[in-house]
Amino acid sequence: MRKILVTGFEPFGRDDENPTELLARDLDGMEFNEYVVVGRVLPVSVNRSGKVLEGLLNELKPAIAIHFGLAPGLSYISVERVAINLLDMRMPDNNGFKTEDYVIEKDAPLAYFSTLPTRKIVERLNQIGIPARLSYSAGTFLCNYILFKSLHHRAKYGYPKVSGFIHVPYLPRQVVKKHGIITRGVPSMCFENIKRAALVALETSVEWLNGGDGAEIDLFDNSKE
Q: Would you call 190 a catalytic residue per the annotation?
A: no
Confirm if 201 and 122 have CB atoms less than 8 A apart. Answer: no
Q: Which of 9, 32, 35, 112 binds its own copies (CB under 8 A)?
A: 112
Q: Is 146 in the site for its own copies (CB under 8 A)?
A: no
Give the residue among 217, 3, 4, 202 at the shortest CA–CA distance from 112. Answer: 217
Clarify whether 152 is annotated catalytic: no
Query: Measured from the CB atom, is 197 or 206 closer to its own copies?
Result: 197
Contact 5, 65 (CB under 8 A): yes
Query: What is the Cα–Cα distance from 109 to 222, expressed in whole angstroms?
Result: 9
Contacting residue, 119, 156, 157, 223, with its own copies by CB under 8 A = 119
Q: By C-alpha distance, which of 44, 153, 151 is closest to 98?
A: 44
167: annotated active-site residue:
yes
Nearer to its own copies, 23 or 84 (CB): 84
With vertex at residue 123, the alpha carbon angle to CA 193 and CA 127, rounded to the nearest 5 degrees, is: 60
User: What letter represents residue 94's amino acid?
Assistant: N
Instruction: Return the active site residues.
Output: 80, 143, 167
List residues near its own copies by CB under 8 A.
Answer: 72-76, 81-82, 84, 86, 88, 90, 100-101, 103, 109-113, 119, 126, 129-137, 139-140, 171-173, 175-190, 192-193, 216, 219-220, 222, 225
